[in-house]
Structure 1
Amino acid sequence: MNPVQAGLGVASGVLVGFTLGLVGGGGSILAVPLMVYLVGLRDAHVAIGTSAAAVAVNALAGLASHARAHTVRWRCAAVFAAAGVLGALLGAHAGKIVGGQRLLLAFAVLMVGVGVLMLRGRDGAGDPDATCTRDNAGRIAGTGLATGLLSGFFGIGGGFLIVPGLMASTGMPILNAVGTSLVAVAVFGFSTTASYALSGLVDWPLAGLFVAGGVAGSLGGTRAARRLAGSRGALARVFACVIFVVAFYMIWRGWYSIVAGVGNENTPKRL
């Protein structure tokens, strides 16, 4: 990794961390395209494995903050994450089998879905006493398995899938869902990282730079969020539009590469 790539890795981490701190989620969905098209990782699978490592570490940092605020429902988190680990491992195995360009193309389609979720917003209402019971344990586990599959397959934290899944399966308010989701994000991320690392598909130095940039960016994003508290909904909509632009660019590049047979489909070109 040359100095330019190292600098771009830190800058990408800052951008993702800042976005997470500012709008409360969605930033990690940009990690893979930034690593592929900006930093210039030649293998899409390495980008996914490296992204999973960075996302998992950043999730632990966020979890510590939520744990101090007592917004984590640990029993729900345990059921959700336990079922999701199996899904994450299966998803990571499947992701390594799929060709690089096809995997990026599918990832872009997922980005469109995340953008739609951001535009729709999330209702914060719910039961603050909601927890895992015999009645909802099956729903929680099933949702965990499904989101774990997607998280492992694409190497993402999956917070925008986990948070609404927890709210739907338990009835908890969004604040608790966000805090609880970070347990699953970290567990899924480390499971995916382990699978990719065993195949030699994690760039550890880049992951470290990405995490360092992400920590700095999240601090700035959190401060900006406090100042722009009344505008966070509008900021989320703007960021959703950015996601759409990046996703459609990835779809165009991926579709063109597959149809035209341009180059090695595992080695996307930089911007």
Structure 2
Amino acid sequence: MELLTPDILAVFSGALIGLTLGLIGGGGSILAVPLLVYVVGIGSTHLAIGTSAFAVAVNAAFGLAMHARAHTVKWPCASVFAGAGIAGAALGAWAGKMVDGDMLLALFGLLMTGIGASMFLRKSDGGNPDVHLDRGSAPQLLPPLAGAGLGVGALSGFFGIGGGFLIVPGLITVTAMPILNAVGSSLVSVTVFGLTTSTSYALSGLVDWRIAAFLIGGGAVGAFLGQRLAARLSGEKQLLSKIFAVFVIAVGLYVIAQGVATLL
């Protein structure tokens, strides 16, 4: 199979996303759509969203398998959050396809700046490692878990993002679980939301499977390198997260400017 320039750029983009995920544990998928539009050169925002949603879902599934082996996934909480979010993701994907591509890109930039700011200001804490969903805790945990899952799923579907940076704080807020458990549990939703969104876009012919494959391959290499680098820079993880947050804000402002300029 002959490699084309977009294929190589897709591998590079996937590696950058995977490197970020491996290095700081989240947020890398927010870069997928801008990278596909501005680096790989996919001309349609909707095609970029559908393609990135599938690639993010596959990479999240690999990450989930690793967290499951490490027993950091709180399956009952994760399942309720993801289950409620399926309907939201399907509805969000349907709504996103109805919005003009340039407007969607500008709105995506606004989301990026907001997420970047929240990542920059977020502080880590110990959390409650013993929290679990059972018959006794269900009256307190089920309603907020389902409500948060529905809302985050809708945003994930609308913008074609994994949503880990929304799911993680959502799980922590609702259950007070430690961040390590929240990251592992969030991958259930990232996988499910991504597959729901990409299925909706694929039915409309809005997934570039070739580019998605190269994006996934690059992501696997980047994640491996990121995890190795993270072990060496473990003491600087908080600083790296803040640097990445500033980068996300800067890219978000650029995306907003590009989207608005096209609309005008």
Q: Could you tell me how far apart the structure 1 residues matched to 2:171 and 2:152 are?
A: 11
* Residue aligning to 2:44: 43
Report the count of equivalent residues: 259
After superposition, what is the alpha-carbon deviation per residue over 1:46-68, rounded to whole angstroms, capped at 9, x for unaligned? 00000000000000010001100
* Residue aligning to 1:206: 211
* Residue aligning to 1:232: 237
* Residue aligning to 1:84: 85
- Offset of 1:240 from its aligned partner? 1.3
SS of residue paired to 1:128: coil
Q: Could you tell me how far apart the structure 2 residues matched to 1:59 and 1:193 are?
A: 14
Write the letter of the residue equivalent to 2:82: A
SS of residue paired to 2:125: coil
* Residue aligning to 1:216: 221
Write the letter of the residue equivalent to 2:31: L
* Residue aligning to 1:256: 261
Write the letter of the residue equivalent to 2:261: Y
After superposition, what is the alpha-carbon deviation per residue over 1:25-76, rounded to whole angstroms, capped at 9, x for unaligned? 1111000000001100011000000000000000001000110011111111
Relative to structure 2, which stretch is displaced further, 174-183 or 127-136?
Answer: 127-136
Write the letter of the residue equivalent to 1:125: G
Report the TM-score when normalising by structure 2.
0.96
Q: Could you tell me how far apart the structure 1 residues matched to 2:180 and 2:56 are?
A: 20
Q: Could you tell me how far apart the structure 2 residues matched to 1:159 and 1:114 are?
A: 11
- Offset of 1:245 from its aligned partner? 1.6
* Residue aligning to 1:265: none
Write the letter of the residue equivalent to 1:182: L
- Offset of 1:2 from its aligned partner? 6.7
Q: Could you tell me how far apart the structure 2 residues matched to 1:2 and 1:78 are?
A: 40
- Return 5+ residue gaps in structure 1 as ranges: 260-271
Establish whether residue 152 from structure 1 lines up as the match of residue 157 from structure 2.
yes
- Offset of 1:180 from its aligned partner? 0.5
- Offset of 1:161 from its aligned partner? 0.4
CA 1:138 to 1:257, structure 2 compared with 1: closer, same or farther past 3 Å? Answer: same
1:25-174 aligned at under 5 Å gives the runs 25-132=26-133, 133-134=137-138, 135-174=140-179
Is 1:124–1:175's contact at 8 Å kept on the other side of the alignment? no
SS of residue paired to 1:136: helix
Is 1:72–1:176's contact at 8 Å kept on the other side of the alignment? yes
Write the letter of the residue equivalent to 1:105: A
Q: Could you tell me how far apart the structure 1 residues matched to 2:195 and 2:206 are?
A: 13
RMSD: 1.1
Match of 1:244 among 235, 246, 249: 249
After superposition, what is the alpha-carbon deviation per residue over 1:177-200, rounded to whole angstroms, capped at 9, x for unaligned? 111000000000000011000000
Is 2:114–2:249's contact at 8 Å kept on the other side of the alignment? no
- Return 5+ residue gaps in structure 2 as ranges: none
Q: Could you tell me how far apart the structure 2 residues matched to 1:81 and 1:93 are?
A: 18
Q: Among all aligned residue pairs of Structure 1 and Structure 2, give the percentage whose two residues are the same amino acid.
A: 55
SS of residue paired to 1:113: helix
- Offset of 1:248 from its aligned partner? 1.0
Q: Could you tell me how far apart the structure 2 residues matched to 1:216 and 1:188 are?
A: 23
